Structure 1
């Protein structure tokens, strides 16, 4: 079995320990592997996302383009995360986001059609799907609330705390866009923290 698929199935088993080896083996028959180069797109604005992608290796960012033509980063996703505009994927609607690889990336993919098959034929997979959907929703809520309840400095400290391994893998401009701050504001925040 492909190492990427094996890693993915191990992560499924960790979240859903009741999954049997037979169920996992059946699930594996519905998975494909896609490889992307740096700057390749997994999803483009206006496209219907045909597959959900589990990142086995690599890093992607999700962004949209605002009315002024600026790219606004809404998320970074690395190993062990899903690359998806989830609501658009579930509804099979055109995406409002781009998902672009920041590094060479390997994804384990499950098509929308195969996901329906899996839910119908592997009962334990529905539980897994609900747990993943809940996790995606929780992260979206946390992101929204970070802009309501946190200062820019708190958002930056939070990012360092929860994504320390990602910190040296992303550009300052993408980080500023994600945090919703100007570059000079980030410089000030870093200087302030350095002197504390």
Structure 2
């Protein structure tokens, strides 16, 4: 399958996007491959493109006192980007790293803005993406405000069980705000129930 076909097929599932809407992006699309552990974005660099993941996975993290703190994992049929850096063309506070050999279809901000100007459907799509990003951010913040480590773990297990097959436990522990040993004890305790 052509590397652009996966993205186009995903777009076709959005009921209000027409074939003409999809065709707007074709001249701007690029495919990129990332080896495991390669960086799509580094701290203090501007995120110049948004990537649709054809295959593989990425993590977003920041450094606090030299320690990596994971904030997000993304997989196939999801977008990988630091939206704030991308939309405002400002240096990122985050790193984005491939966790597996990965392939993305990417486009830049001018391509997205062009689509917004030409098509109300793309404006609607952009609004939906912004709402989705806001919802994910709010859920993440509220999980730390209103849940303990065990509740965050159970919530992740319920909402995203495949993550445990693809992401190393030390990355998941960081994402949950736990030490690796604490996560191991927690998993053992829950398994024994």
Q: What's the TM-score, normalizing by structure 1?
A: 0.94
Q: Name the CA distance, whole Å, in 1 between partners of 2:125 and 2:155.
A: 28
- Give a deviation string over 1:88-146, Cα, whole Å, max 9, x none: 21001000000000001111101011111111123311111110111011001100000
Identify unmatched segments of 5+ residues in structure 1: none
2:147 is aligned with 1:118: no
Aligned twin of 1:153: 150
Aligned twin of 2:5: 6
Query: For this pair of structures, how many residues does the alignment match?
Result: 193
Between 1:183-192 and 1:170-179, the stretch displaced more is 183-192
Equivalent runs, 1:173-184 vs 2, <5 Å: 173-184=170-181
2:170 is aligned with 1:189: no
Aligned twin of 1:74: 71
Q: Name the CA distance, whole Å, in 1 between partners of 2:76 and 2:102.
A: 9
Identify unmatched segments of 5+ residues in structure 2: none
Superposed displacement of residue 11, structure 1: 2.1
Coordinate RMSD, CA, aligned: 1.3
Q: Name the CA distance, whole Å, in 2 between partners of 1:56 and 1:64.
A: 24
Secondary structure class of the residue paired with 1:153: helix
Superposed displacement of residue 10, structure 1: 2.4
2:90 is aligned with 1:93: yes
Match of 2:167 among 160, 170, 192: 170
Contact 2:25 2:111 in 1 (8 A): no
Contact 1:59 1:79 in 2 (8 A): yes
Deviating 4+ runs (over 3 angstroms): none
Contact 2:7 2:105 in 1 (8 A): yes
Q: Name the CA distance, whole Å, in 1 between partners of 2:184 and 2:17.
A: 48
Aligned twin of 2:25: 27
Match of 1:57 among 55, 58, 66: 55
Superposed displacement of residue 58, structure 1: 0.4
Q: Name the CA distance, whole Å, in 1 between partners of 2:74 and 2:122.
A: 22
